[in-house]
A and B are shown apart, each in its own frame.
Chain A
Amino acid sequence: MPSDLKKKIEKAEKFIGGLKFAVIVITLFSFMMIVGTFLESYYGTDFVNRVLYKSFPFMALQFGMFASIFLAMLLRLPPKKRLYGFYTIHIGLIMVGCGSFITWFSGIDGHLSLDPNSPNRKVILSDDVLRIIYHDEGKTVTRKLPFAAFRTTLDDKYENIQLGDFIPFADKILTWRKGSNPYPLNSSIHSSTYIISNPNVSQEMTLSLHPEAVEFEASLTMGLLNVTYLPKGLANCFTTKGKSGYIIWDSKKNDCYTPEQRKIKIRKTSENNKFLVLRENGKVYSFFPDFNPWPVDENLKVIKNSHLKIFNKKLFEDKPNLFAFGRKVAFFDDEKWHVAEFKKDSDTIDLPWMGFELVLKKHADREFPSFAPKEIMPIQKNGSLIKGLTKALEIDVLGNKYWVLNDRPITLRINSKKVSFVLDKEILTLPFEFILTKFKMDKSPGTNNPASYESFVKLFTSDGPTDHHVYMNNPLKHAGFTFYQASYSQDPQTGRYSSTLSVNVDQGRPLKYLGSIFLVLGAIAHYLLNKKKVKKSETTDFFKLEK
């Protein structure tokens, strides 16, 4: 090795192993951690992990500390007795560093959700992935997404699918789009956004009949009020008087009528239930409108996709029910049905319940509402994210661009094959299976606060099933995996508990533990081996205490 280069290496070694470098690196490390804790407080744990703790610069800084620790020890060799503690501390730190590297490189950290009596072996990991599911071929392709904090453009292509921008933290913005499929001109595919408000509460509601508006329903409930969105052609029939109170809707013809208008006879069964029969092109549709809006066939089987449907207005007269038809709405008040119309966009319709009024914010006959992602900085409050919960990935399929959201997979026909795109987390399939046989939760007496929660699980391996009890501070270890009681959830309807176990594989654990022991013992030894005796002077005593 040339002496010049050797000198430079020695100089670099001295600098990196020197005190100044150590103090600079420690200070920089501390500063970045301080920034990290404040970032976490505002933007959340996931964001700070992506932007700082698991970023390359922070890892490089930790490597700098590691190099400083290692070289500081190397420069102080051969061993001296007074530095025995110093060596032990530094060896301990190197071991902790190596252990942490092994954990980062090959460790597994995920969680396993266990529903009662449902087997599961899928561990959900933290990495984001796109799953492309080819239904016809029964094939699934997984593409890993970057651990980025901000919008990142991907350079990844699979067959005729190009992956575009990935947004890890986004908000969903309501947009109005044109449908990608052709629809007949008279089809009822309209959508509307209304604002319903009174002095105390205000809520925006978007309702749609468009087949592509998969994120929006045609009905919703607001406390006691039910809102139902119906084809606009049905509005006028709500004021048509008829003794029966029935309205027949023909979605093929976009037409409505009452039995009285067409002189359709309403009969009664032997049990006094009303029914009526419609004949169309030789087919018989029998209705029991007091029980079901859909017709039944000859075998009394409900025809759910029938173009004929009967509304029994009388069923909706007791409770607050609002029917919206785009620019018209109908409601029952003062013993009769009222139909009101928004003639201008700024029009307000007074509703007969709790001082509510209704405003039509947007109406579209052919366009449909859809959520598009908008990149934002996430916001965390009380330990959980309140903004930026959506992850989004743009995909380009045969020249058409689509957004796949983590809570909205999309399904397309590509070359006449059904393909679904799901934005999800990476999954690890365990070589064994769990069943939650029992979940026990004890509460602090007289309160609803959990005092302990425990999972009783059955583990199925090739050696047969075994029973285990996992609870806080009592994990289950099996085949190199450790399962910890992490959290639980309760089904609001059935009241049954599900358990979540965190799953961990950490090959670096022994090194970290051993290094920690070295570190503490080394620190104690260092201070004991380097005790100094400093003498007092006569002026040292602050308080001039009595002897």
Chain B
Amino acid sequence: MKQIAILLFSILLSFSTLAANTQFCNESLSAIPIRQDGRIKPLLVHASEMMKYLTGKSKVGENSATVSYCLLSINGLGIPTKIKLFAKIEHVDLQKLLEVEKQKKISYDELEDQTAVLRNEWRKAEDFSSYKKSLGSLLGKIKIHKDIKTANNWQVPLVNSKTDVAWLPIGAYLSEEKIKAARAVSETPFLKVLLDSKQQYEKTVGNKFLIELQYVKLKLPVVALCLTFLGLICITLFRKFHFALAFAILTVIVQTAILTFRVYISGRAPITNMYETVLFSGYGSLVLALIIGHFKNEKIYVFVGLAYNVCTLMMLNFAGGMLSSSISPLVPVLRDNFWLSTHVTTIILSYGALALSWVLANTVLIKKKFSHMSKKDEHYYSELIYTCLKAGTVMLATGIILGGVWADYSWGRFWGWDPKETWSLIVLCLYIAILHGKSTNWIPNNRFFILVAGAFMSVMMAWFGVNYILASGLHSYGFSEGGAIFLGSFFLGQLVVLALTYSSFKVEEAKPNA
């Protein structure tokens, strides 16, 4: 190792400092395979995940994720680089402890020096407090940073045969012979050794992992957001339905591509984490909207589908802290593609259908508050919402039953009062109560809109609240940190809309037969 460091250092000295980056680390490394978190992926994907985890952003200054990760790693090979990563410190008490109340960030090098202090503080902190969680999270980040900086995180394949691949830390992989041999034929021996390993891996094992690189580079979620947004503009501002329809169909195609990529990469149904359920819900609702709109010959469904899809795509593109796009291995119980594809898909599709009713109910409420709507139109729109509710509740009931059958099949019980199960049943009960009231005209149209708009809060509670607020139960694979602020904001926003629009209905009720 010492000899390799001297060898690499001598290579470094033969270049200017500026050229050192390109000598050792450039974008060509993005495509080399790395094994981390239980699967094989291109370096770019892993480097982006690491940089986002450590700094909140995938780029570090001018350097891309791959280059940043590489520069940090080669420190562990004895090559000093100037790259410095900063951790965001959000907890107030932690800011005080580290004396970064103003800048709210601190370099990992400084943090490493304070590891003992942080560990002692973590030991003393009250169990399960947010301070202890923040300290634990920061200590985890310091460990990962150290792991990368000591060149232990970067695992390079040593290919013996198709089924026999040893993954070695880069420091152990680079031997003096390899560097000397590469130096004889290339001006960038470090890059050559690594690119040769990639070539060897592709030749012997295959290049399936490179699909993920294409998927990341295409930035399809951004494309889908732009298309949906354009569709929404066409229908709302320019009143061009056919353009909106074309954009909606293009969005569906792009989202189908996203889902296909994720199925191909992970080898399972794309509905196993929050990111994927949000993606599938938006996609499903748009597809449902197009189908229902076609059979009902009603254009407003396209608007509703696009509007909800914009919401979900905005979350996917801008709420990275809450929804991680990483593809991770599944817990054993979820490794059943049949049940995963049927139970979760049906539930998420039902959420999509209920979301259509939510968007339409809110649209009617706002329209009625700020403009005029006749009783006949109210009745018409209530029937459109009713159609979505029917589809949503039938799918939700089917999804709950499928979940029960899966639970019976895997755990030996059909129903166990698990919070996720219970909240799904709560949602079903609330919508069934609304449907009963509506079908027997017990609930008049004006109250129906308010109830439908409000009832979607129960869907959000079942979908996000169980994971972010209750955070308990057997469905632990979907659990994640944070998100309570998002859910609180959603509830607050919806309640404000209900409060504002409820008054307009009350006025109308006061003037019967007006």
Contacts and interface: CB of A to CB of B under 8 A. Distances in A.
The answer to whether A and B assemble together is yes
A473 B333 contact: yes
B383 A534 contact: yes
A523 B401 CA distance: 13
B430 A30 contact: yes
Contact of B383 (A383, A386, A532): A532
A444 B167 CA distance: 14
B172 interface: no
Interface stretch (A35-43, A134-142, A267-275): A35-43
B453 interface: no
Interface in A130-161: none
A506 B124 CA distance: 48
B380 A536 contact: yes
A27 B381 CA distance: 25
B299 A509 contact: no
Contacts of A447: 37-38, 329
Contact of B155 (A22, A446, A541): A446
B502 interface: no
A380 B472 contact: yes
A373 B65 CA distance: 56
Contacts of B331: 449-450
B409 interface: yes
Interface string B397-435: 110010011001111111101010011011001101100
B350 to A, nearest CB: 12
Interface in B256-306: 299-300, 303
A266 B127 CA distance: 55
Given A41-B472, A446-B35, A537-B374, A484 B236 contact: no
A449 B466 contact: no
Contact of B411 (A33, A444, A446, A486): A486
Nearest to A536: B380
Contacts of A244: none
A126 B374 CA distance: 59
Most A CB within 10 A of own CB, among B167, B235, B401? B401
User: What interface size band does chain B fall in?
Assistant: 35 or more
Contact of B332 (A34, A45, A49, A450): A450
B120 A26 contact: no
Given A37-B422, A504-B412, A543-B239, A451 B335 contact: yes
B496 interface: no
A539 B419 CA distance: 45
Nearest to B466: A37
Interface in A10-66: 19-20, 22-23, 26-27, 29-30, 33-34, 36-38, 40-41, 45, 48-49, 53
- Interface secondary structure of A, over-half rule: mixed
Interface string B318-361: 00000000000101110110010000000000000000000000
A19 B433 CA distance: 9
Contacts of A84: none
Interface in A377-404: 380-383, 386
Contact of A40 (B332, B411, B472): B472
B38 A446 contact: yes
B394 A475 contact: no
Given A527-B390, A537-B377, A546 B412 contact: no
A200 B120 contact: yes
Contacts of A380: 472
Contacts of A100: 414-415
A475 B425 CA distance: 27
B239 A545 contact: yes
Contact of A30 (B37, B393, B426): B426
Interface in A520-547: 520, 523-524, 527, 530, 532, 534-537, 539-546
Contacts of A37: 419, 422-423, 426, 466, 470
A523 B36 CA distance: 47
Contacts of A193: none
A201 interface: yes
A520 B329 contact: no
Contact of B335 (A41, A472, A513, A540): A472
A519 B397 contact: yes
B426 A520 contact: no
Interface stretch (B18-26, B178-186, B436-444, B483-491): B436-444
A516 interface: yes
B57 interface: no
B332 A542 contact: no
Q: Is the interface of B mostly helix, strand, loop or mixed?
A: helix
B377 A444 contact: no
A539 B374 contact: yes
B143 interface: no
A480 interface: no
Contacts of B383: 532, 534
Nearest to A473: B336
B15 to A, nearest CB: 34
B473 interface: yes
A467 B205 CA distance: 36
B240 interface: yes
Contact of A19 (B390, B414, B437): B437
A96 B72 CA distance: 60
A545 B436 CA distance: 34
Nearest to B36: A446
B433 A27 contact: yes
B39 interface: yes
A506 B414 CA distance: 9
Given A19-B436, A33-B425, A534-B379, A546 B394 contact: no
Given A109-B412, A534-B383, A536-B380, A444 B333 contact: no
A509 B409 CA distance: 11
Contact of A473 (B404, B409, B439): B409
B417 A49 contact: yes
Contacts of B414: 100, 103, 506, 509, 512
A175 interface: no
Given A33-B425, A446-B38, A519-B401, A545 B412 contact: no
Nearest to B243: A546
A120 interface: no
A445 B405 contact: no
Given A450-B332, A544-B239, A513 B405 contact: yes
A451 B332 contact: yes
A26 B433 contact: yes
Interface in A389-439: none
Nearest to B363: A542
Max chain A Cβ within 10 angstroms of own Cβ: one of B363, B397, B417, B423: B417
Interface in A350-372: none
A452 interface: yes
Nearest to B360: A542
A163 interface: no
A446 B46 CA distance: 14
Contacts of A541: 299-300
Contacts of A535: 380
B436 A520 contact: no
A483 B429 CA distance: 32
A545 B437 contact: no
Nearest to A201: B123
23 contacts: A27-B433, A33-B422, A33-B425, A41-B470, A109-B413, A201-B123, A380-B472, A383-B472, A386-B128, A445-B35, A451-B329, A472-B335, A482-B412, A486-B411, A512-B404, A520-B397, A534-B379, A539-B373, A540-B376, A540-B380, A542-B367, A545-B239, A545-B299
Interface of B: 35-40, 120, 123-124, 127-128, 155, 167, 235-236, 239-241, 299-300, 303, 329, 331-333, 335-336, 339, 363, 367, 373-374, 376-377, 379-381, 383, 390, 393-394, 397-398, 401, 404-405, 408-415, 417, 419, 422-423, 425-426, 429-430, 432-433, 436-437, 439-440, 442, 466, 469-473, 476
Nearest 4 A/B pairs, CB to CB: A444-B38, A504-B412, A41-B470, A444-B329
Given A48-B417, A445-B35, A530-B439, 8 more contacts: A33-B426, A45-B417, A444-B329, A450-B332, A451-B38, A523-B397, A540-B380, A541-B300
